[in-house]
A and B are shown apart, each in its own frame.
Chain A
Amino acid sequence: MRMRQGKSILLAGLALALPILGSSAATAQSTLEAVKQRGHIICGASQGTVGFGAPDGQGYWRGLDVETCRAVAVAVFNDKDKVEFVPLSGQQRIPALQTGEIDMLPRTLTWTLRRDANGINFAAVNYYEFTGFMVPKSIGVTKVEDMAGASVCVQTGSTTEVVVNDVSTKHNLNLKTVIFDNVAATRQAFFSGRCDALITDAAALASVRATQAKNPDDYVIFPATPYMDALSVAVRHGDDRWYDIVKWSVQAMLAAEMFGITQANVEEMQESKDPRIMRFLGTEPGNGAALGLDEKFAYNIIKQLGNYGEVFDRNLGAGSPLKIERGPNRLFTDGGLMFPLAFQ
Chain B
Amino acid sequence: MLSSLWYSERARSLTAQTVLLAACLAGLYWLYDNAVTNLTARGIRVGLDFLWRPSNFPISESIVAYSPANTIAWAFVVGLANTLYISAIAIVLSTLVGLVVGLGRRSSNPLTSGVTGAYITVIRNTPLIVQLLFWYAIATTALPGPRQALNPVGGVFISLRGIYLPSLHLEGITSLLWVGATASLLTLAAGLIYRRRRGLAVTMLAAITIAPFVLALLAFVAGGGRAAVSVPELTGFNFTGGMRLSSEFTALIIGFVVYTSAYIGEIIRGGIDAVGKGQWEAGRAIGLRDSQTLFHVIIPQALRIIIPPLTTQYLSTVKNTTLALAVGYPEFGLVVGTVINQTGQAIESIIIMLGVFLTISLAVSLFMNWYNRRVALVQR
Contact = CB atoms under 8 A, between A and B. Distances in A.
Q: How large is the interface on A (under 10, 10 to 19, 20 to 34, 35 or more residues)?
A: 35 or more
Contacts of B323: 5
Contacts of A117: 43
B41 A27 contact: yes
Contacts of A1: 129-130, 133, 326
Interface stretch (B110-118, B196-204, B344-352): B344-352
Interface string B144-177: 0100000000000000110000000000000000
A335 B377 CA distance: 85
Contacts of B127: 2
A179 B344 contact: no
Interface stretch (A11-19, A29-37, A64-72): A11-19
Contact of B140 (A24, A176, A193, A236): A193
A196 B60 CA distance: 14
Interface string A324-343: 00000000000000000000
B121 interface: no
A23 B31 CA distance: 10
Interface in A113-149: 114-115, 117-119, 139, 148-149
A149 B334 contact: no
Nearest to B128: A2
Interface stretch (A154-162, A200-208, A265-273): A154-162
A168 B347 CA distance: 31
Nearest to A160: B57
B130 A19 contact: no
Interface string B219-246: 0000000000000000111101000001
A156 B37 contact: no
A154 to B, nearest CB: 7
A178 interface: yes
Contacts of B141: 192
Interface in A79-134: 90-91, 94-95, 98, 114-115, 117-119
A156 B341 contact: yes
Contacts of A91: 337-338, 340-341
B276 interface: no
Contacts of A169: 68
B227 to A, nearest CB: 26
Nearest to A237: B43
Contacts of A158: 341
B52 to A, nearest CB: 15
B100 interface: no
Contact of A94 (B58, B327, B341): B341
B355 to A, nearest CB: 13
A192 B235 CA distance: 20
B369 to A, nearest CB: 28
Given A118-B45, A180-B328, A90 B341 contact: yes
Given A139-B237, A193-B160, A98 B42 contact: yes
Given A118-B43, A185-B326, A16 B238 contact: no
A117 B344 CA distance: 10
A117 B346 CA distance: 15
Interface in B33-57: 34-35, 37-39, 41-45, 56-57
Interface in B94-131: 127, 129-130
Contact of A149 (B37, B58, B238): B238
B140 A5 contact: no
Q: How large is the interface on B (under 10, 10 to 19, 20 to 34, 35 or more residues)?
A: 35 or more
A26 B42 contact: yes
B346 to A, nearest CB: 4
A108 to B, nearest CB: 14
Nearest to A165: B68
Contact of B343 (A5, A118, A194): A118
A161 B338 contact: yes
Contact of B41 (A20, A26, A95, A196): A26
A24 B342 contact: no
A304 interface: no
Contact of B57 (A12, A16, A165): A165
Given A19-B35, A27-B41, A179 B330 contact: yes
A16 B344 CA distance: 12
A45 interface: no
A150 interface: yes
A189 B140 CA distance: 7
A292 interface: no
Interface string A225-246: 0000000000011100000000
A18 B35 CA distance: 8
A169 B69 CA distance: 10
Nearest to B337: A91
Given A26-B42, A119-B44, A157 B58 contact: no
Contact of B31 (A20, A115, A182): A20
B130 A16 contact: no
B59 interface: yes
B301 interface: no
Given A1-B129, A119-B44, A119-B344, 13 more contacts: A1-B130, A1-B326, A24-B37, A117-B43, A149-B238, A149-B240, A150-B237, A156-B325, A157-B338, A179-B60, A185-B327, A192-B141, A238-B41
29 contacts: A8-B337, A15-B346, A16-B347, A19-B34, A19-B42, A20-B31, A24-B38, A90-B341, A91-B340, A94-B341, A95-B346, A114-B342, A118-B45, A118-B343, A150-B238, A156-B334, A156-B337, A156-B341, A157-B337, A158-B341, A162-B342, A165-B68, A166-B56, A179-B328, A181-B334, A181-B337, A189-B140, A192-B160, A238-B43
